[in-house]
Amino acid sequence: MDKYLISLTYLKGLGPVTLKKLMERFGSAETIWRASFGELKELKLKDDFIAALMQQRQQINPDKIVNQLNKEGIKTVSVYDPDYPKLLKEIYAPPTVLFYRGQPEIFNAEPSLAVVGSRKISAYVKTVLPELLMEAVKKKVTIISGLAYGVDELAHTIAVDNGCPTIAVTGSGLAWDYLYPRGNLKLAEKIIKTGGLLVSEFSPFTPGQPANFPRRNRLISGLARAVMVAEASAKSGALITAGCAAEQNREVLALPQNLNSPTAAGVNRLLSSGAKLIASADDILEALDIFTGGPSSATGLTIDLNSLSPEEKTLYQLLSASPCHVDKIMENSTLDASIVGAFLIQLEIKGIIKNIGGQNYVKL
């Protein structure tokens, strides 16, 4: 650890762009740390900015910071280290220092997929996402997300439950008492135990605050080769991540939604803007340039009714080669109308029924 470089990242107002200029000018973090007002003034920084930095500097003890990190078991990697994530170096203003818990080897594991979405996860996504991600997890794709409730939590859990390393990028510091959200503390521990990583650009004792999450989102996309949005409302934070992905030249993927879903608007906007539609597990693998060696998993399957859930089986048996409107399907089934749409989409993803338009379905 370079205690001075880490300490510089604790100074409020000193971002990675300015810090990079300081490093280029002074050559080392220690020299910056010890620089006088006049020396800092040479970079044409504003007087009040320099004064604020110097005042903060007097209140920070680099040795104490390193001791705190060691006590917490938190490690660091800087943008000047060879182990720093290569993909993250490609983005604008990558964090000078990353704090992490876990195995740094997977920082550069390829391929990698970010999965983001609503905190209020729908029954549809709970059903569909595990099946879509299973093939990627089997092929050791590193799943990256933000440890939030909902889609993030499910994506991490799918990876953990199948012994696949996953990276959780947090909007808080990594000290256990500050990790956010508190309800996913056990999941965070499992991520580390299964060879994964907890990562943050925030100092260890930073609480989770709304202003932190846009910064976190740019890291989620920056660490990944592609970003999949599972669901998103019109004002979802997942759209911020998708926007970061587009700016960072990452491919954006989106899972089609039931139009009546409150989390459909954001995804539909992405699809209309050119995001890749995900209709099968192979679509994800294709986006990551993974050769599947066969036809799409959504086609060419021999139908085994025993492989379907009770709900899927009920709906499938109601359909025929003749079009049947969703309202009629709801009327004839014994299922709650709120979940029929989700299971119909699941059957469509499996390639055994088709929506031929106007919410009319046929059996294939």
The least confident of 50-59, 117-126, 270-279, 313-322 is: 313-322
Question: What is the pTM (predicted TM-score) of this model?
Answer: 0.80
CA gap 283, 117 in Å, rounded: 18
Mean pLDDT value of segment 83-95: 95
3-class DSSP assignment, residue 18: helix
Q: Give the per-residue pLDDT at 297.
A: 38
CA gap 229, 242 in Å, rounded: 7
The least confident of 15-29, 70-84, 276-290, 300-314 is: 300-314
Share of the chain above pLDDT 90, in %: 68
Q: Give the per-residue pLDDT at 156.
A: 98
**Tokens (6 digits) for 341:** 């749409």
Mean pLDDT value of segment 135-155: 96
DSSP letters for 28-81: SHHHHHH--HHHHHTTT--HHHHHHHHHHHHT--HHHHHHHHHHHT-EEEETTS
pLDDT band at 294 (very low <50, low <70, confident <90, very high): very low
Average pLDDT of the chain, as a whole number: 91
Tell me if 14 sits within 8 A of 95, measured CB to CB. no
The least confident of 168-177, 180-189, 327-336 is: 327-336
Mean pLDDT value of segment 321-330: 84
pLDDT band at 292 (very low <50, low <70, confident <90, very high): low
- For 234-290, the pLDDT digits (tens) are 888 899 999 999 999 999 999 988 777 777 789 988 988 899 999 889 899 989 988
Q: Does domain 104-287 have CATH number 3.40.50.450?
A: yes
Q: Give the per-residue pLDDT at 295.
A: 38
Q: Give the per-residue pLDDT at 291.
A: 59
Question: CA angle, 93 as apex, 92 and 95 as ends, to 5°?
Answer: 130
- For the chain, the domains span 1-68, 104-287, 305-363
Is the pLDDT score of 174 beyond 50?
yes
Q: Say which CATH architecture domain 305-363 belongs to.
A: Orthogonal Bundle (1.10)
Cα 250 from chain centroid (whole Å): 13
The sheet carrying 353-357 orders its strands as 324-325, 360-363, 353-357
Q: Give the per-residue pLDDT at 300.
A: 41
CB burial of residue 292 (10 Å; 0-12, 13-18, 19+): middle
